[in-house]
């Protein structure tokens, strides 16, 4: 069984390779894990073209939702993008927060950071900053962010609860997050879950939807809402890399669900009443 650090190293290496690929190569795969399907063009990602602030050069086709569309970002907000990649969601957040706001992207893959920083410099985005760091221990002070967004990243973190705790720490009281991620209903076959390529492809590292929502609730968040949900259908030619024909049939009959969800939650306001500060 791999340690948490081994998983991180594996994901870091995979996404370093992805940073050097073009969008078409990434989009024809499961979250950039390699050209693995002839049945679909893009398994996970949604279409960003309708969003203001979208920069195609920063879109590597690695997402599984549109968290910035639901993030309720206001002018002047401080926004943090977890797993910022080449800067796609960070630049859309910048459009929403305007010149008076600030966007901080965090990523632990140096190749991605270099790409994001180059994209920001090319566009003259002086209020967008990209930091090298692990989202399980963010290089950010406490109570600094109005909004946190993330797109198909938490499923890659071995210690998801540590990430949720960090989100709570970094958000200002009354702040909120909108995060798109992959979750499960039912169990994936073990040989898919244990396959490194599928892990970096955003599926094998996913946890149960109910567990995901409970992690958020148990760490102090309120007003938890699933803003969007869609089923992810893995084509047979991808499943065929890991399962026999008989196993594919059995897998489908189990009714196991793989979903992209966008989840919203708020950090409670600070207060001094006996009901919340005991």
Q: Which residue has the higher pLDDT, 259 or 226?
A: 226
Residue 105 and residue 94 in contact, taking contact as beta carbons nearer than 8 Å: no
Q: What is the DSSP string of 81-126?
A: EET-TTSHHHHHHHHHH-TTSEEEEEES-HHHHHHHHHHHHHHT-T
pLDDT in tens, 95-127: 999 999 999 999 999 999 999 999 999 999 999
Q: 20-24, 162-166, 228-232: lowest mean pLDDT where?
A: 20-24
Q: Once rounded to an integer, what is the mean pLDDT over residues 8-17?
A: 74
pLDDT score recorded for residue 276: 53
Q: What is the pLDDT of residue 12?
A: 77
Residues in the chain, total? 278
The pLDDT confidence band at residue 278, using thresholds 50, 70 and 90, is very low
| Both tokens assigned to 250 | 């059995």
Count CA atoms within 13 Å of residue 176 on its CB side: 17
- Could you please report the per-residue DSSP string of 138-206? -SS-TT-EEEEEEES-GGG-S-HHHHHHHHHHHEEEEEEEEEEEEEEESPPPHHHHT-HHHHHTTSTT-
The closest of 269, 165, 146 to 215, measured between CA atoms, is 165
Residue 95 CB contacts under 8 Å (≥ 6 apart), including other chains: 52, 53
Percentage of the chain beyond pLDDT 90 is 51
Running DSSP on this structure, what letter comes out for residue 256? -
117 or 59, greater pLDDT: 117
Domains of the chain with bracketed CATH: 4-262 (3.40.50.150)
pLDDT tens string 231-265: 887 778 777 877 888 888 887 887 778 889 999 99
């Amino acid at each position: 069984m791999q340690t948490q650090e081994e998983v991180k190293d594996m994901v870091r290496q995979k996404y370093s390779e992805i940073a050097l690929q073009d969008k078409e190569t990434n989009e024809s795969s499961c979250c950039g894990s390699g050209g693995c399907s002839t049945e679909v063009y893009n398994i996970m990602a949604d279409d960003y073209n309708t969003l203001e602030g979208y920069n195609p050069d920063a879109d590597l086709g690695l997402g599984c939702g549109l968290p910035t569309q639901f993030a309720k970002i206001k002018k002047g907000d401080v926004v943090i993008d977890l797993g910022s990649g080449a800067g796609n969601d960070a630049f859309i957040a910048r459009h929403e927060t305007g010149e008076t706001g600030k966007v901080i992207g965090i990523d632990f893959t140096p190749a991605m950071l270099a790409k994001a920083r180059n994209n920001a410099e090319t566009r003259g985005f002086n209020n967008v900053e990209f930091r090298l760091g692990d989202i399980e221990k963010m290089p950010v002070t406490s109570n600094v962010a109005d909004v946190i967004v993330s797109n198909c990243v938490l499923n890659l973190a071995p210690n998801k609860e540590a990430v949720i705790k960090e989100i709570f720490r970094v958000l200002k009281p009354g702040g909120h997050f909108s995060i798109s991620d992959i979750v499960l209903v039912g169990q994936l076959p073990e040989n898919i879950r244990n396959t490194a390529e599928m892990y970096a492809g955003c599926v094998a590292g996913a946890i149960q939807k109910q567990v995901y929502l409970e992690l958020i609730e148990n760490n102090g968040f309120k007003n938890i809402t699933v803003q969007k949900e869609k089923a992810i259908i893995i084509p047979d030619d991808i499943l065929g890399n890991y399962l026999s024909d008989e196993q594919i049939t059995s897998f489908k009959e189990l009714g196991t669900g793989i979903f992209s969800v966008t989840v919203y939650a708020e950090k409670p306001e600070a207060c001094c009443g006996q009901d919340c500060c005991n």
